Amino acid sequence: MITKDEIVKAGYEVLPKGGWIRISPENMPRDWEDVCSDFGVDSSCLEIILCVAGVKEVHEEETE
């Protein structure tokens, strides 16, 4: 389990209430298989719901 301190140390702003992002094959038809593989889920599922704990803005001039 990731901790709040790990989120902050990685440079993310901790979201006070968190959030969810819903991803479906309709949103990413060409990348669906790769996304499912990356998250270790079955690509025959209807959608993936990600729980988000932090956010980080990356601007064009910045590199990770």
Q: Among candidates 48, 47, 49, which has minimal Cα distance to 19?
A: 49
46 φ, ψ (degrees, to nearest 5): -75, -35
pLDDT of residue 62: 61
End-to-end alpha-carbon separation of the chain, Å? 23
pTM: 0.67
Q: Are 29 and 1 in contact (CB under 8 A)?
A: no
| pLDDT digits 0-9 by tens, 4-48 | 999 999 999 999 888 999 999 999 999 999 999 999 999 999 999
pLDDT of residue 11: 93
